[in-house]
Structure 1
Amino acid sequence: MHVKTLDERVVSRAKARGLDALVYAPHFTRLPDIRTRAERFSDDDLLVVPAREVFTGPWYDRRHLLAVGLSDPVPDFISFRGALDEFIRQDAAVLVPHPEMLNVSCSRDDVAANRDALDAVETYNAKCLPHQNRAARAVARETGHPAFGSSYAHFRRTVGEAWTAFEDAIDDESDLVSALRTGAPRRVVHRGGVGHRLRSLAEFTHLGYENSWGKLDRLFLSGTEPTHPSNVAYGGRFDDVFAYAQG
């Protein structure tokens, strides 16, 4: 919980690492496409659960939210409150990935102020540096939220570097949503050693690409991109919570 890339090699690596499930939530991809690909790579040995990590707010002040169990698509770059309200309407599990990380995360105050709407806080992310994961653990501890951990793998080799181990079996998407929403017992686990740190550092340096303004220019100026709120696929449902003024 969760990965950004999914193909045969990712599935093979996940199985080799002993994982039973992956949450697949690539950036800027609509839910129907995510769900189709997740179904393609699920089998009796590995469950792939579709999810969306939604970028709320404008580009310069993003707060990410991870929603598991969505039934309808939700775009990026809508207001934080607008995203939460939509997730609640759909009875999705709402998670806080990488809290307090640079300018792409919920703050401690955000989590505390929306405690009842949030189901878990990430306390270990393989893409984060050690001090960032310490800060994340403090957020979960101080706000009283259950924890989760993930590889946050953008690269295949990071899959299985960190995971969440539930005590009860997770056989399908609804099992996972229920476990997250009810605070089911779980442990956050991660690998160690030099190899782990090197793979984590490679993931962290990838942030430079993810946050480039060049990528912004390509993705969000025309309004035709898959997860832009103005895309025709959303039928204008999110116009009132679009994070940018519309002229």
Structure 2
Amino acid sequence: MSRPRTRVDAHVKVLDDAVVARAKARGLDAIVYAPHFTRLPTIRERAARYTDDELTVVPAREVFTGDWANRRHLLAIGLTDPVPDYVTFEGAMAAFERQEAAVLVPHPTFATVSLTRPEIDAHAARLDATETYNAKLLPHQNARLSGLAADVDLPGFGSSYAHRRATVGEAWTTFDESLPDAAAIVEAFREERPRRVVRRPGIRHRVRGLFEYAHLGYENTWAKADRLFLSGDEPTLPSNVAYEGRFDDVAVYE
């Protein structure tokens, strides 16, 4: 990329040829790819496969801290080593800090899966941005996100939070500089560079957001959680052999 600005959809869950085509058609320069329950090496491999001269795919992890009933989501960009889900908040933050990853707060204060206002207040110095627009959320919820970022004096970011291909590029974060690769995008978030949060206008935007919101019925059920614990060896559980016991001391499940 050699443009005077960089438009980043800062959190998507899906990635294939159709997603890449849609991102380019929407004028995006980059997407941050952070699928649930997928290990970092797999995410990296897919990100590299779909990155080209027109679109940068930034590998990331949305890590679930705490247990399923009390989980808090953190979006880590720029990880060098895998970090599992279902570790303590402090355990995850320590791993992010060791790796100098950018730590973003997705959908703050939303439902029971997000950092609360007191938690953000307590850890603001360790966080690099908090989401101010999420295409999946309703207007009053997004208004709350914007107010929160101003109150805690953290930079904002916007994303489609797309679990569906059609939602990619419904919202994004614009940096007014050329960020040619994933490392430059991570650095821009870590250094709190100036940016603008933008969303698409119109009724189609709202309809796509409502379809995404409806997806929450599946996203936050025990039916989904049950599949995580069938064998105790799922890809992002700390007990998986790939982590070589490095997170045993901060795991919330034995």
> 2:139 matched to which residue of 1?
130
Residue 198 of structure 2 corresponds to residue 189 of structure 1: yes
Kindly tell me the number of residue pairs found equivalent between the two proteins.
245
Residue 185 of structure 2 corresponds to residue 176 of structure 1: yes
CA distance in 2, matches of 1:172, 1:47: 6
TM-score normalised over the length of structure 2: 0.95
CA distance in 1, matches of 2:71, 2:137: 17
> 2:102 matched to which residue of 1?
93
Amino acid at match of 1:172: D
Gaps (5+ residues) in structure 2? 1-9
Residue 82 of structure 2 corresponds to residue 79 of structure 1: no
Superimposed CA distance per residue, residues 176-235 of structure 1 (whole angstroms, 9 cap, x where no aligned partner):
111001110100000121111110011011011011111111112421100011000001
> 1:237 matched to which residue of 2?
246
> 2:207 matched to which residue of 1?
198
TM-score normalised over the length of structure 1: 0.98
Counterparts of residues 93-132 of structure 1 (less than 5 Å): 93-132=102-141
CA distance in 1, matches of 2:131, 2:95: 21
- Secondary structure at 2:52's aligned position in 1? coil
> 2:174 matched to which residue of 1?
165
Aligned-pair identity in percent equals: 63
RCO comparison, higher one (Cα < 8 Å, 6+): 2
| Consecutive aligned runs of 4 or more in structure 1 exceeding 2 Å deviation | none
> 1:62 matched to which residue of 2?
71
Superimposed CA distance per residue, residues 51-96 of structure 1 (whole angstroms, 9 cap, x where no aligned partner):
0000111101111000000000000011111111110000000000
Gaps (5+ residues) in structure 1? none
- Superposed displacement of residue 172, structure 1: 1.0
Query: Contact conserved, 1:149 with 1:162, CA < 8 A, in 2?
Result: yes
Superimposed CA distance per residue, residues 118-175 of structure 1 (whole angstroms, 9 cap, x where no aligned partner):
0000000011111211111122111100000000100000011000000111111111
CA RMSD of aligned residues (A): 0.8
> 2:19 matched to which residue of 1?
10
Query: Contact conserved, 1:34 with 1:51, CA < 8 A, in 2?
Result: yes
